[in-house]
Amino acid sequence: MVTRRDFLAGTGIAALSLTAGLRPSPTQAKDLPASGGSLSWGVETEPSTLNPHLNGQAKAKLILRNAYETLLARTPDGGYLPWLAKSCSVSEDGKTYTFTLRDDVTFSDGEKLDAAAVALTKLKEPTYSGSISAGHVSHVSEAIAVDSYTVVLKLNDVYSPFLDGAAGIEILSPKSFSSSQLKSGGPDIAGTGPFILDRYIKGQEIRFKKNPGYNWAPENAGHQGPAYLDEVIYRFLPESAVRTGALTSGQVHVIEGIAGNDAALFKDNPDFTYQSAINTGTPYTLFLNVTAGPTTDVRVRKAVLAAVDVERVIASVYRGERKRAWGILTPADTDFYDKSIEGRYGFDTGLANRLLDEAGWTARDAEGFRRKDGKRLTIEIVQSQATLRDQRDILLQAVQAQARQNAGIDLALQYVDAGTYANRQKDGQYGIIPNSTTTQENGVTIYFHYLPRAKGGSINYSRTEAPEISAWLAEAASTLDARKRFEIYAELQRFALLDQALGLPLYVPDDQIGASIAVNGVGFRPFKRLPENAYDIWLQQPA
């Protein structure tokens, strides 16, 4: 098996070997798996679109992964396995990637998977997907269908995160791109997955039926052939208490997104199973805008970081069920997480108040908020409703209270719809945007967060254009040496958090699954650690 670290250890690589790595089975049953039945799963987040290319919600991947698949699968350590591609080779200079596809894969619309379907042509169009076109595929100079089952992708330059991104893009049937459903997603948007979209009732549920011809699962799947279940139904239950009640009362078989207060209901309960896993990607972080309002002053930004007792807030909100964050990546990112950042900054009311005094915010109003030049020290936090999950509203209120009590900072909370959020993000009219990302690309999310927006930083919420950061990212992207990249990212992290205070990491995103004891095979994706689709799940039949 080739791990990511092996692959990135040097540039003199002629081919990437793909071999099996077994996925650990989260549940083991004494009986053989039973086919048939319908599973009901209560989920926290309704997809903003059913097109996997356009949906940026990590929580929605649980649903969409039933119907859409990628070229390569991942192992727990970040290695690669064959999936829709049965092999991949990389040129000696690191600029040419050749994928050889399976010849037995069929889309749910009846079309055969071939090289034309993975040539990435549509993905390079900014009008289709701005984030994808500005990301990995922006480095592709040419995509060549050598024959029906061979695709060659040539890069403009060495881009070390390329395989992580390109191999993880969901493959759609070419017919899908001419469908009127392309933007919203629907039955006409065909994938190769073990389930086929059957019905979607907005605000209520989405149903998938078994793909009877499915027979191309990766080698680390729990079985081969069609899914065990005939049907899986995802019910949209945004309130944690409602999801918990639905599971305990038998209205659903499985739920995800379990509040810290509710975890005890399922832990060590013989009627249920409970699992949790931290995600790869970036922590839930308050990104401070360096281009507008009080946060243009680095002293104010550093004061925000020092004014909040993050440890206490996380313990209070999540009751020990979430981990406090420190870095620009989560600890699940084993290649590039730099543990040395832990404890290097943090809660210090004396420092926070001293910095604000130095910045001229010395006056106080009747409510205790700091003022300067007749204006209150107000920093607006703009939170998208689409990612307001996992008790984040309560978390932000706790942070708000800490900033006021400890330093006289007014953090004004604004919860906005998708359109307003996109406009505010584009125009830079905010003080703070909170965000986390759960990607399968170790380290590559740093580029999205810290590159200038014009150069691919699609979620650069701090709006930094620091030349030091751009230089580090360019250097890291140009080397396939993982150890060198680690050193570069560590230096960038110290600059971003300690020197410039571009963000305040709060907690490490964590997914939880609670299930009836009758549910077998439910678990997490091996590397990304998001809840897996329903392919390996089967229901224990009554005696």
3-class secondary structure per residue, 302-322: HHHHHHCCHHHHHHHHHCCCC
Print burial letters for 93-115: b (CB count within 10 Å at least 16), e (below 16). Answer: ebbebbbbbbeebbbbbebebbb
Task: State what percent of residues in the chain have pLDDT above 70.
Answer: 93
Amino acid at 477: A
Of 308-322, 397-411, 514-528, the range with the highest mean pLDDT is 397-411
Q: What's residue 182's pLDDT? A: 92
Q: How many residues does the chain have?
A: 543
Which one-letter DSSP state was computed for residue 499? I
Looking at per-residue confidence, does 304 or 282 come out higher? 304
**Is 399:506 a contact under the CB 8 Å cutoff?**
yes
The full DSSP string for 17-37 is -----PPPPS---SSPP----
pTM of the full structure: 0.82
C-alpha dist (Å) from residue 534 to 32, 229, 375: 17, 8, 54
Q: Which residues contact 455 (CB under 8 A, 6 or more apart)?
A: 470
**Average pLDDT of the residues of the chain:** 89
Q: Using one digit for the tens of pLDDT, what is the confidence trace for 17-26?
A: 443 333 434 4
Q: Which residues contact 420 (CB under 8 A, 6 or more apart)?
A: none
C-alpha dist (Å) from residue 464 to 140, 260, 298, 326, 460: 26, 34, 12, 19, 7
Print burial letters for 352-375: b (CB count within 10 Å at least 16), e (below 16). Answer: bbebbeebebeeeeeeebbbeeee
The pLDDT of 117-128, averaged and rounded, is 82
Range from 195-199, 301-305, 364-368, 434-438 carrying the lowest mean pLDDT: 434-438
Q: Which of 165, 71, 56, 160 is nearest to 384 (CA)?
A: 56
Q: Using one digit for the tens of pLDDT, what is the confidence trace for 231-256?
A: 999 999 999 999 999 999 999 999 99
Q: Using one digit for the tens of pLDDT, what is the confidence trace for 39-82?
A: 999 999 999 999 999 887 888 889 999 999 999 998 888 889 99
